[in-house]
Amino acid sequence: MSCKGGQTVNSIYQALAKRQRLTQLVLLAAAAVFPLLVSNPYAIRLAILSGIFIILSLSLNLLTGFSGQISLGHIAFYGIGAYTAAILSKNLGVNFLICMLAAVVVTALFGLLLGLPALKLGGYYLAIVTLGFSEIVRLVEINWMDLTNGPLGINGIPKPALFGVKLSSPRAYYYMCLLLVALTSSSSGISWNRASAMRWAPSAGTKTPQNSWA
């Protein structure tokens, strides 16, 4: 694709982003009042799970939708971060915010170790590598009983506290999740242009731009 074509794609993304801002604000306002109108804890828990998967979808869209890299190991990094935070919180009594930061760092390290060799492959080869990595992580999490408690999962994780305020109700968890969704959405928007440029970046060893889907 020519430079002019790349600029056209970026301009389309920018125009769509402007149109979506109002929609995002309306959805955010509706999400903010949702737990005030719905008192059913089960419905709120479903909304929390939806928020978690929205965060996963945004990050996957950034990687696959905009940069064009096919990754089938996304859920593995989610599991690594979740187990890191849970183990630190339950076994070591680490503060909630530090657990979150540690989960980000550990997951990023695994992503770096996998990404350095895997991104040189690209396309469907990258998909195969990330799929294999995801399966390895799944087997480790299921069979390492002493660390992860296997398929039973980690129970009795202490309730998180933010700035001395303990989050003990589904509504409190919901608003924390909503805040993370908003932060993830805004940070993803900042990265869209850079990620879309990767789709048409010259691949290693070639002088012409290459679409990762090709």
pLDDT tens profile 138-165 = 999 999 998 888 888 888 888 887 777 7
**Model confidence at 211, in pLDDT bands (50, 70, 90)?**
very low
Higher pLDDT, 23 or 198: 23
Helical spans, DSSP H, in 93-150: 96-118, 123-143, 145-148
pLDDT at 7: 60
CB atoms under 10 Å from CB of 33, counted, come to 9
Highest averaged pLDDT of the listed ranges 1-15, 102-116, 186-200: 102-116
The predicted structure's pLDDT at residue 122:
64
**3-class SS of residue 135:** helix
Please tell me which residue, 96 or 214, carries the higher pLDDT value.
96
* Per-residue pLDDT tens over the stretch 45-72: 999 999 899 888 888 887 777 667 777 8
Label residue 105 by pLDDT band (50, 70, 90). very high
Which pair of structure tokens corresponds to residue 140?
A: 């480790």
**How confident is the model at residue 13, as a pLDDT?**
65
Q: What is the arithmetic mean of pLDDT over 104-125?
A: 82
Q: Against a cut of 0.85, is the pTM above it?
A: no
Tokens of 213: 């889907």
Q: Is 90 exceeded by the pLDDT of residue 199?
A: no
Q: How far is CA 171 from CA 29, 53, 180, in A?
A: 16, 18, 14
Q: Please name the residue that has the structure tokens 């480790």.
A: 140
Asked if 212 contacts 67 with a C-beta cutoff of 8 angstroms, the reply is yes
H or E stretch at 171: helix 170-199
The H or E element that residue 179 is part of is helix 170-199
Average pLDDT (162-172) is 79
Identify the residue with better confidence: 8 or 148. Answer: 148
Residue 124's nearest CA partner among 60, 211, 198 is 211
Instruction: Give the mean pLDDT of 124-151.
Output: 88
